[in-house]
Amino acid sequence: RAPVWFSSIRHFLLLALADTRQLQLLHFCLLLGISLAALLGNGLIISAVACGHHLHTPMFFFLLNLALSDLGSICTTVPKAMHNSLWDTRDISYKGCAAQVFFFAFFLASEFAFLTIMCYDRYVSICKPLHYGTLLGSRACAHMASAAWASAFLHALLHTANTFSLPLCHGNALGQFFCEVPQILKLSCSHSSLGEVGLLVVTFCLAFGCFVFMVFSYVQIFRAVLRIPSEQGRHKAFSTCLPHLAVVSLFLILYSVVTPALNPLIYSLRNQELKDSLRKAVTGCFSAFSLSHNSPHSNRGHFQFTVLAFLINHSTC
């Protein structure tokens, strides 16, 4: 049987999330809820950090970049899966699959890079507080953010170019609901995918190095926190580190969809300054909404804004 070369493939077939129409619509609703939660949560964080001048600190600067990565990650994979579930299709074009691989790899790498940088930020703030202004000044933060985005772009470009230069010998059906490198490698000729496998090994080694750095940093952080004599001081130090540690754990377990939706909830509702900014933003929106909608239908909007303000105000610290 003659092999099917990559130049003859015009589209790929993604994994169907369900066979029955009812389950397809259920998956569509679930994905819609996840994407709306991610858009709302990360959008609120971006707005609060961008508009709140007292939040212009290294920690919130990196949190803003992390929120942008989360938005990009979930907007890359979920919309196409929602479209396929709603319209009962599996197709994705060859160029669309290449674009999805590139942007997913780009935002995934940038997210992991910013999680590593935020770990370094927590390490310096707790273990080397006297050098915080020097090690994490505005110029240093800009350089680290630029390096994170640039390295993520290079990582995505290398993986995408290498993957889509391979000849495909095993059809065009992918075992995932979005395009990703390991699934495409399964379709390639075995003798031609060694280069991409080697690149994946290098990527894994770099990611493992970042993970080891995070573990080492948190060991030092916990040792420093346990030496703090004040119980209130220990609680404050732990409250700034545990949310980041929780997000890193989620990232390593469920890296594609769940983390972008849960990041804003974990970070914003555990930080008093960010909660205050979000509460002010919701109050301002509610005031403007009340002035512009003096009609019986405005009671519904009043209720929605009241519930949102209540959730932000009474979240656990």
Instruction: Among 3-7, 76-80, 240-244, name the most confident range.
Output: 76-80
283 and 266 in a common domain: no
**Exposed / middle / buried, residue 36 (Cβ in 10 Å: 0-12, 13-18, 19+):** exposed
Could you give the CA distance from residue 285 to residue 267 in angstroms, rounded to a whole number?
Answer: 22
Exposed/middle/buried for residue 26 (C-beta within 10 Å: 0-12, 13-18, 19+): middle
Domain termination residue (choose one: 254, 270, 286): 270
Q: Judging by beta carbons within 10 Å of its beta carbon (0-12, 13-18, 19+), is residue 219 exposed, middle or buried?
A: exposed
**Residue 1 maps to a domain:** no
Considering the domain architecture, whether residues 70 and 163 belong to the same structural domain is answered as yes
Positive or negative, the CA dihedral 281, 272, 57, 219 is negative
Same domain, 35 and 54: yes
> Which domain CATH number covers 56?
1.20.1070.10
Q: Are residues 212 and 146 in the same domain?
A: yes
Task: Identify the residue with better confidence: 67 or 263.
Answer: 67
In a domain, 54, yes or no: yes
Element containing residue 133 per DSSP (H, E): helix 132-135
Tokens of residue 267, six digits: 């970070």
In a domain, 150, yes or no: yes
Please write the tens of the pLDDT for every residue from 9-60.
Answer: 778 888 777 677 888 888 889 889 988 988 888 888 888 888 878 778 888 8
Same domain, 85 and 197: yes
**279 and 194 in a common domain:** no
Same domain, 182 and 292: no
Same domain, 148 and 265: yes
Number of domains comprising the chain: 2
Higher local confidence (pLDDT), 92 or 280: 92
Same domain? For 177 and 277 the reply is no
What range does the domain containing 317 cover? Answer: 272-317
**What is the rounded distance in angstroms from the CA atom of residue 163 to the CA atom of residue 180?**
10
pLDDT of residue 254: 56
CB 158 within 8 A of CB 174: no
Domain stop point among 231, 254, 270: 270
Query: Letter for the amino acid at 193?
Result: S
Query: Per-residue pLDDT tens for 254-270?
Result: 554 554 555 555 555 54
User: Is residue 168, in this structure, part of any structural domain at all?
Assistant: yes
What confidence tier does 285 reach under pLDDT thresholds 50, 70, 90? low
Co-location of 180 and 283 in the same domain: no
Q: Quick one: 57 and 192 in the same domain?
A: yes
In a domain, 176, yes or no: yes
Please state whether the predicted TM-score (pTM) of the whole model is above 0.85. Answer: no
**37 & 51 share domain:** yes
DSSP structural state of residue 170? S
**Which of 110-131 are b and which e, b meaning 16 or more Cβ less than 10 Å from the residue's Cβ?**
bbbbbbbbbbbbbbbbbeeeee
pLDDT tens digits, residue range 85-123? 888 888 888 888 899 999 999 998 998 899 899 889 888
pLDDT in tens, 71-90: 998 888 888 888 888 888 88
pLDDT of residue 297 exceeding 80: no
